[in-house]
Amino acid sequence: MKLTDYVADFLYNENIRHAFGITGGASLHIIHSIEEHPGIEFLCSLHEQASAMSAEAYSRITRNLGVAIGTSGPGATNMITGICGAYYDSVPVLFLTGQVATFRFKGKTGVRQYGFQETDIVQMCTPVTKYAVTVEDPKRIRFELEKACHIARSGRPGPVLVDIPDNLQREDIDPQQLEGFIPELTDKPNISASVQECINLLGKSKRPVLILGWGVRLAGADEEALKLINVLKVPVVPTWGMADFLPAEHPNLVGTFGTHGTRYGNFSVQNADLILAIGTRLDTHETGSPLSSFARDAVKIVVDIDHTELVKAPYFGMSVDVPVVADARYFICELLEAFDEKNTKAIDPWWEHIKHWKKSYPVCLEQYYDEDPVNPYVFVHVLSKLLDKDVPVVIDTGCSIAWMMQGFQVKKGQRLIHDFNNTAMGYALPASIGISTALDRQMTICVTGDGSLHMNIQELATIAHNNYPVKIILFNNDGYSMIQQTQDQWMDSKYIASSKEGGLPVPDFSEISRGYGFKTFEITQNADVASTLKEVLSYEGPCFCNVKVSPNHRVIPQVKFGRAIEDSEPLLERSQFLSEMIIKPLDSSLEEN
């Protein structure tokens, strides 16, 4: 059979039913074989970056491999931003790239390029993939595909890339003669001593906090994590990657934390005397800077499948008292088996502190409803109330993700999707395509900003052409508000390259959306948010909602670089701040901004 027909069969046998990409001279045979396969649908994007992001989001929602395809040269390099998103968020995606024919390889000549559009995509992507290889022998296609897919799914998951030269794609092969890949068996780690130490420390703790990260979901430990929460009966602060894990009304849920987290979430983490962090690398967006300021009086138990994430902590100035190298599901199961619920300790005073903080520092204040134009926190609050639990929400970077992570009230089973660590502008639109595709064209909400929308605006045509039921919500503040917030802090509020006055083009997005064939709505005041959103959600097919937000709106609260995350802006009066702190504040927090 033809080699690319074998590739298509292989994908089908891996339970992959969709692939995303753009055609090109060096990828034609791959694309034709996939499209002509009766069990797989090929979906055309209008930019390879969008294809990569669609495939990455597809993987997140299906918990299976996503597949994206690009041609040689610029087709392959265009996918790198999406590849990075998959790598930093540990999402298993198979990237297939076409390459020039082997007889056009530059080899050891020293020239930059011999074959037309020849680019060494493997060397470029090696730092941001778990495995990248060029297939140079058609008889190795089975081995390399099996090896790549195994690596993508095993351990800490991530993207892989298989580069297939054009002449090999057309080769005839005998599948029965192909060598397969046999993975090495690995022993499960012995973590019984660490588990027992964790139990002992929990028993002594008066102010424990459980941090759950994206690694819990990657490990397939959803049910086990829920059981652990019910057994430990401790406050839970999720990372952004797990912000959709617990519904808003769950009694153990506190809220998000970090530089752009909730004030009450930050108070809870920073005043804890014990942190049990499972499946999170505790990046600087969560801990703030310096790392030594994070939960500085707490005993820290950190569980991560990647030992390097544990080694980094002391390197950057934070001690980890109990580092555990283990898969999140394996650790939770071991902990549940060893834990005796009779030893559960009452922490009523700690819960009273947390209830006080949540009541005192709500995300959406009553006076926000009196503002004009739209207050983003009011919009997020209303949107979360109106959405059904089975409607997924895909969010872009900038203020959009911060406002949503602070204020969105998750319903049980609802999903919030974002590329949390690479956090690329332009992610949400193509990711919405991947999500809607994976869910058999289910309605999907795309929340983006005017800056982010520009990055992949061409995919409006993809949505309109395929009639994907994607509802695009645009936070339109005529610029880059999150950058402006940084410029407020460090650049004397000079909005160079972040505003219309600073040189940034600001088009009419409503007219653009109509040009792509969208039914378009506009919201300019808080009073119209609920009624217009109901129209948007009831409209059949794709539509576009232009939400006019004041350029002056910022993320509130937000932590200025150099301050501990409990001391977020706008700064509280020092006497009020000090009254909220259980542990000793840093010297920098004793002074006004």
Q: What is the pLDDT of residue 592?
A: 62
Q: Answer whether residue 35 is part of any domain.
A: yes
Q: Answer whether residue 262 is part of any domain.
A: yes
Both 97 and 204 in a single domain?
Answer: no
Average pLDDT, the chain: 96
The amino acid present at 314, given as its one-letter code, is P
- CA count, 13 A, side-chain hemisphere, 522: 10
pLDDT tens digits, residue range 408-431? 999 999 999 999 999 999 999 999
Both 205 and 120 in a single domain?
Answer: no
Q: Answer whether residue 558 is part of any domain.
A: no
pLDDT tens digits, residue range 523-581? 999 999 999 999 999 999 999 999 999 999 999 999 999 999 999 999 999 999 999 99
The amino acid present at 340, given as its one-letter code, is D
pLDDT tens digits, residue range 25-57? 999 999 999 999 999 999 999 999 999 999 999
Q: What is the pLDDT of residue 342?
A: 79
Both 44 and 141 in a single domain?
Answer: yes
Instruction: State which of 360, 382, 410 marks the end of a domain.
Output: 360
The stretch 462-468 carries a mean pLDDT of 97
Both 275 and 353 in a single domain?
Answer: yes
Both 167 and 250 in a single domain?
Answer: no
Vertex 525: Cα angle to 522 and 528 (nearest 5): 70
For residue 24, the enclosing domain spans 3-177
| 372: confidence class by pLDDT, cuts 50, 70, 90 | confident
Q: Which helix (H) or strand (E) holds 450?
A: helix 450-455
Q: Answer whether residue 186 is part of any domain.
A: no
Both 93 and 143 in a single domain?
Answer: yes
We report the CATH number of the domain holding residue 432 as: 3.40.50.970
Q: What is the pLDDT of residue 423?
A: 96
Select the more confidently predicted residue: 387 or 589.
387
pLDDT tens digits, residue range 208-265? 999 999 999 999 999 999 999 999 999 999 999 999 999 999 999 999 999 999 999 9
Are the C-beta atoms of 411 and 389 separated by less than 8 Å? yes
Both 164 and 211 in a single domain?
Answer: no
**CA end-to-end span of the chain, whole Å?**
70
Distance CA 71, CA 141 (A): 18
Q: What is the pLDDT of residue 341?
A: 82
Both 171 and 198 in a single domain?
Answer: no
Q: Answer whether residue 572 is part of any domain.
A: no
As a whole number of angstroms, the longest Cα–Cα distance in the chain is 77
We report the CATH number of the domain holding residue 329 as: 3.40.50.1220
Q: Answer whether residue 560 is part of any domain.
A: no
Instruction: State which of 338, 360, 382 marks the end of a domain.
Output: 360
Number of domains in the chain: 3
Both 170 and 313 in a single domain?
Answer: no
Q: What is the pLDDT of residue 593?
A: 54
What backbone torsions phi and psi does residue 505 show, to the nearest 5 degrees? -65, 135
pLDDT tens digits, residue range 266-297? 999 999 999 999 999 999 999 999 999 999 99
Are the C-beta atoms of 449 and 474 separated by less than 8 Å? yes
Q: What is the pLDDT of residue 344?
A: 83
pLDDT tens digits, residue range 122-155? 999 999 999 999 999 999 999 999 999 999 999 9
Both 196 and 317 in a single domain?
Answer: yes
Both 46 and 122 in a single domain?
Answer: yes
Residue 135 exposed, middle or buried by CB count within 10 Å (0-12, 13-18, 19+): buried
Distance CA 133, CA 121 (A): 9
Q: What is the pLDDT of residue 591?
A: 75
Give the tokens for residue 29.
């045979």
Q: Answer whether residue 213 is part of any domain.
A: yes
Distance CA 294, CA 257 (A): 11
Instruction: State which of 177, 202, 220 marks the end of a domain.
Output: 177
> Does 74 sit behind a cis peptide bond, omega within 30 degrees of 0 on the bond before it?
no
Are the C-beta atoms of 553 and 480 separated by less than 8 Å? no
Both 485 and 501 in a single domain?
Answer: yes
Q: Answer whether residue 184 is part of any domain.
A: no
**116: how many CB neighbours lie within 10 A of its CB?**
11
Give the tokens for residue 378.
């009011």
Distance CA 203, CA 538 (A): 51
The amino acid present at 287, given as its one-letter code, is T
Distance CA 430, CA 435 (A): 9
